[in-house]
Amino acid sequence: MRKYIIPIFAALVIGFFLTNFFIKQYKNYNGITVSNVGEELYFIQYGVYSNLENMEQNTISLQNYVYNESGGKYYVYIGMTSLKENADKIVNYYKKNGYNTIVKQYSITNKNFINELKKYDDIIKNTQDETAIISVENEVLTKYEEVVISGGKN
């Protein structure tokens, strides 16, 4: 029985140190997090364009927008919110002003942006003033560009 105690103890000590080593490797991991479930947000899409020049020409009349390039296409978004009722307010504003939009849902994991967005959502939820709604949405788009697009990872 004594001949097994030292190897078992050594295995436990080595296992402890190796576990700590591997866990420390992932504390500052800057890769893409795939196991983190994001929050579903409503993105108000203005259009999809086949090239950058075409997109830029067709978005001249917009105050502010963000875009995403995927599969050689440029997707333009003119609003985003975490609340369906706010998405409806934004869509209605643009519809009254002659812009055709659609609402898409995407999952975002950037907690800094989500926290900021919820503050803006409270403002939009509690107002019917279209000027205020669009002004807040312009701030949301600017914050999205600053925190998510330019800021990189969460």
Give residue-wise pLDDT tens across range 62-74: 989 999 998 999 9
Give residue-wise pLDDT tens across range 6-50: 888 888 889 888 888 877 776 665 554 454 567 999 999 999 999
Give residue-wise pLDDT tens across range 95-130: 999 999 999 999 988 888 999 999 999 999 999 999
- Tell whether pTM > 0.75: no
Quick check: 38 and 109 in contact, CB under 8 A? yes
**What is the model's pLDDT at position 122?**
95
Domains and CATH numbers, the chain: 39-150 (3.30.70.1070)
Q: Where do runs of H (alpha helix) occur along 28-129?
A: 52-58, 84-96, 111-125
